[in-house]
Amino acid sequence: MASMEDLCISIDIGGTKMRVAVIDRSGTLLQRDEEPTLAHQGREQTVERLTRIIAKLISLTGNGKLVAIGASLAGPVDPDAGTMNSPPNLPGWDGFSLKPLLEQTFNLPMWAANDATLGAIGEHSYGIGQGVTNMLYLTVSTGIGGGIIVDNSPMLGVRGFAGELGHMSIDRNGPICTCGNVGCLETFASGTAVAKFARERLEGGQDSLIRKVVDGDLAMVNSKMVMDAAGQGDPLAVELVEQFASNLGLGLVNLMHIFDPQMIILGGGVSQSYQVYSAALDVAIRRHVMAHLRERINVVVSTLGDDASLLGAAHLAFQRGGRGV
């Protein structure tokens, strides 16, 4: 490395894993490490381990010039202070900001945002959304997160709450959601919801391949098993996947009517089974969408996968880093 190349520290803290990477302006991950978050052991323990990983990666970085830290956090984040607001998967982080500690420890400015917003920024900057001016990103896994890009800019809202696309209600009589609302898209079309509906039907005695896959232990049922069984033509799984696609489609139609995006990008674990439900999703969208938009449906799968938020955090760090703290 002859010249001093601009680099950033990018961190992604989720309920299960925390990842740290050193990333350059082209989006190349030069160093990376990850550890389980172990949120139940308490925030201080997690932050201490995080700080140690960052220090280790910086020591491996060599000649580059670090310009900022970008952080992707699982929950609503205040865009200026970096303060989290009741993140469901990070107990103990409500009202907490990593910013003062990390800025002081590493003498770098730090910027933070919600993980799904940064997933959208990642895809827009380095992934399948490059060159797309208006796009939505939905991460469908345990829950459903969302990020919105309007006229090439992320839409954060006044308090960083914009883009909670999974908490759009599609049924006033639907299940109670963890957010306090009822019938949220997340309660119908997340991986957790698909697994729950499958479990209920299996507990009711319905015959299915899924029962054999888990050897009768219904607590083990997950959405991937349902998707895989549907791919093999299992009638219960096919029915559940059609129901899932119908609900996700209704949610996407609402979003198309509000945002008129060029592209909707699906990320998260459930997007990996896209080929199983893409036809049913297309049928559902066509059934509900305004006629003019019917030939302009553009739903695609994320190309960055698990790294979308990490790369979005890097983009945020490079974009805001130079402006000082």
Q: Which residues bind Zn ion (CB under 5 A)?
A: 167, 177, 179, 181, 184
Alpha-carbon distances of 99 from 71, 112, 142, 149, rounded to whole Å? 9, 8, 27, 25
Contacts of 158 (CB under 8 A, 6+ apart): none
260, 298 Cβ separation under 8 angstroms:
no
Q: Token pair for residue 213?
A: 């896959």
> Is residue 120 within 8 Å of 134, Cβ to Cβ?
no
The residue among 167 and 201 lying less far from Zn ion, judged by its C-beta, is: 167
- Encoding tokens for residue 297? 């449906």
Question: Could you give the C-alpha distances from 254 to 189, 251, 287, 290, in angstroms and in order?
Answer: 14, 5, 12, 10
What length is written for the chain?
A: 325
Provide, rounded to whole angstroms, the least separation between the CB of residue 228 and Zn ion.
Answer: 27
Nearest CB to Zn ion, comparing residues 41 and 86 = 86
Q: What is 60-120 written as a DSSP string? A: TTTT-EEEEEEEEESS-B-TTT--B---TTSTT-TT--SHHHHHHHHTS-EEEEEHHHHHH
